[in-house]
């Protein structure tokens, strides 16, 4: 399944996504709640940073649905 499809499915099912994201030379893992797409970005609530963040889809190395439902944000 492609990355954008994972985020779309998470939005439909109201689930979180665990993603691996490349930020410059650093690779980070984040738990996010996707909210919308805007051009080449996915707009999410980042549970680590406790804030809304925009992520470039091209920089998402992997993404998987989590069972936990979104109860916040």
> How many angstroms separate the first and last alpha carbons of the chain?
26
Q: What is the pLDDT of residue 21?
A: 97
The first and second tokens of residue 38, run together, are 């805007």
- Map out the domains of the chain as residue ranges: 3-67
Q: List per-residue pLDDT tens for the chain, 73 residues long.
A: 799 999 999 999 999 999 999 989 999 999 999 999 999 999 999 999 999 999 999 999 999 999 766 554 4
Q: What is the pLDDT of residue 69?
A: 60
Q: What is the pLDDT of residue 67?
A: 77
Nearest to 15 by CA among 73, 69, 72, 71: 69
Q: What is the pLDDT of residue 70?
A: 54
State the Cα angle at 25 between 2 and 43, rounded to 5°: 45
Whether domain 3-67 has CATH 2.10.210.10 = no
């Amino acid at each position: 399944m492609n990355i954008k499809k994972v985020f779309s499915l998470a939005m439909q099912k109201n689930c979180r996504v665990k993603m691996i994201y490349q930020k410059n030379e650093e690779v980070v893992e984040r738990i996010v709640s996707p909210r919308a797409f805007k051009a080449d970005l996915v707009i999410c609530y980042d549970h680590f940073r406790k804030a809304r963040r925009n992520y470039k889809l091209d920089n998402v190395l992997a993404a998987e649905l989590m069972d936990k439902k979104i109860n916040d944000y």
